[in-house]
A and B are shown apart, each in its own frame.
Chain A
């Protein structure tokens, strides 16, 4: 936990300094740390219990479709992603997310909510969601220009049980469509981080039929 917190702290410091070299180093370090954690950990449990409430926070990378803004190509942005999910049963729930990704030229932030589908398998929970909300960009060129418009998010990922109340979100991949500055953008976001969970939804047990002896 501390390792991840310090990693995200470093990312935040990096963003403030707008140091590209630091961004590369921190991201590479993050990859290394995550790999080390995965290769050394022992799972808290073998059968994943679907939590009632999941709170996710972590790093996210976004490939922004900035060609629609007149840029020569797409832009690579780094930032954060956070979400809260409430699961109604073992296979269905709702989720609300907030994320922000930045580079020195522009940023994209979004808030979206919608249904989420779950598929628990052993120590893992696969999930997929379709979200609707708002996206906001600010382009730090010239006098600066910003816009807030509708955003659609579709994606999914895998959570892996890590500790008693903690999961690792191995990967979350999302397609984000935004309609900013009178253009449509097709963006790709990849996130990773930790999930804190509360409560549990157990599988409904099937009672064996009564076999009362005559």
Chain B
């Protein structure tokens, strides 16, 4: 038997060998003991990567992608997950355990439970009725109130949200009357002001919020360029940025303590063809604008005192054919840019020090045009 001897020639297992074999067996079986708490969502694994949720209106579903630290997307098996009819806007609760999807074809809100381990979504019924053609969602950072723009009924529905179950309860007075055609919502970081794009009247409306109740501020609505479609506000709530798609301009307003908007000097600023979505990085010093008609993304450095945007060197940066939406990674490492025409989501790395984009690093193709893209925190 030589050096490999475990058993004596008389066939009796020595004590040391018994211990060794028992230990090996235990080691072989130990992983199985943890099996039920692995990726099955039993609580044993802690997700270390984000999920990107992409609504697919024509599929009546939502696809999820696992997002690596560098922004590479991996489709979650089982996608797209069933949701309501024609889901468009989507909002993920701060806990990351639930998401709301606005179903434009059924005028209601779906509650989706997110399994962060597997990346799967499960709709929790019943759906919550809202006004006609819900087009945009917004929620405060605490996840207490959900705001829904009902574009065709000219109202804004407001619900209090349960952080544990995700269930929605309409606040007193909901739905609140809004100016014509409320299309896009943006809540200020403090949750004190709700900004609403009204493309039909080329204006932005501003509302104060008090326990979810809306009160339009004096002077609202405020005139912007033609077809305002997207907004961003800095973390200090000093400036509001609005893209005017039909004008190819960017309106910039200073925000008073009361919520009143005043255009800054030089606003609106001319940018490139058909600006669509825009987003601020977490530091608030760079503004990213997708140019729907020019297959690129413009990047602006922002003056923290005046709010004036200045295009950075080499901007605009090449993107997909018709960039529609964008989402910035909270760590400012990459941007996800969705293209409704090309049916793609592209990852564009960001140089943190300059805000510059490095072009499309990777891309995934969707089964149909996306309605929105959202990232878990």
Contacts and interface: CB of A to CB of B under 8 A. Distances in A.
Real binding pair: yes
Interface of A: 20-21, 23-24, 27-28, 30-31, 34-35, 38-39, 41-43, 45-46, 59, 61, 63, 66-78, 103-106, 121-124, 139, 141-145, 160, 170-171, 173, 181, 190, 192
Contacts of A30: 29
Given A38-B21, A70-B76, A28 B66 contact: no
Interface in B70-100: 74-82
Given A35-B26, A67-B66, A141 B81 contact: yes
B25 A31 contact: yes
Contacts of A104: 36, 40
Contacts of B33: 23-24, 27-28
15 contacts: A23-B32, A45-B11, A66-B118, A72-B39, A72-B46, A72-B66, A72-B119, A76-B37, A78-B35, A105-B39, A105-B40, A139-B78, A142-B79, A143-B82, A170-B21
A38 to B, nearest CB: 5
B6 A124 contact: yes
A123 B13 CA distance: 10
A66 B37 CA distance: 14
Contact of B76 (A76, A141, A171): A141
Nearest to A69: B77
A171 B24 contact: yes
B65 interface: yes
B77 A72 contact: no
Given A46-B9, A122-B7, A123-B7, A23 B1 contact: no
B120 interface: yes
Contacts of B115: 141
A142 B80 contact: yes
Contacts of B38: 73-76, 103
Nearest to A29: B29
A61 B39 contact: no
B121 interface: yes
B18 interface: yes
A75 B12 contact: no
B18 A170 contact: no
Interface of B: 1, 4-7, 9-13, 18, 21-22, 24-26, 28-42, 45-49, 64-66, 74-82, 115-121
Given A27-B32, A75-B38, A142 B26 contact: no
Nearest to A101: B35
A71 B78 CA distance: 11
A77 B38 CA distance: 9
B1 A122 contact: yes
A15 B121 CA distance: 23
B119 A70 contact: yes
Nearest to B12: A42
Contacts of A45: 11
Contact of B45 (A38, A41, A72): A72
Contact of A20 (B42, B46, B118): B42
B35 A77 contact: yes
A142 B121 contact: yes
Nearest to B6: A124
A72 B68 CA distance: 10
A145 B12 CA distance: 51
Contacts of A72: 39, 45-49, 66, 116-119
Max chain A CB contacts within 10 Å: which of B22, B39, B66, B81? B39
Given A43-B11, A71-B117, A105-B40, A190 B28 contact: yes
A123 B4 CA distance: 12
A71 B42 contact: no
A42 B11 CA distance: 7
Nearest to B66: A70
A65 to B, nearest CB: 11
B35 A23 contact: yes
B11 A123 contact: yes
A19 to B, nearest CB: 8
Given A43-B7, A66-B39, A72-B48, A61 B32 contact: yes
Max chain B CB contacts within 10 Å: which of A41, A45, A46? A46
Nearest to B39: A75
Contact of B1 (A61, A66, A121, A145): A121
Given A20-B36, A105-B120, 14 more contacts: A43-B11, A59-B32, A63-B31, A70-B79, A72-B48, A72-B116, A73-B38, A104-B36, A122-B5, A122-B9, A141-B119, A142-B79, A145-B78, A160-B21
Given A24-B36, A105-B41, A141 B22 contact: no
B97 to A, nearest CB: 14
A67 B12 contact: no
B73 to A, nearest CB: 9
B322 to A, nearest CB: 26
A173 B78 CA distance: 30
B31 A76 contact: yes
Nearest to A72: B47
A143 B81 CA distance: 7
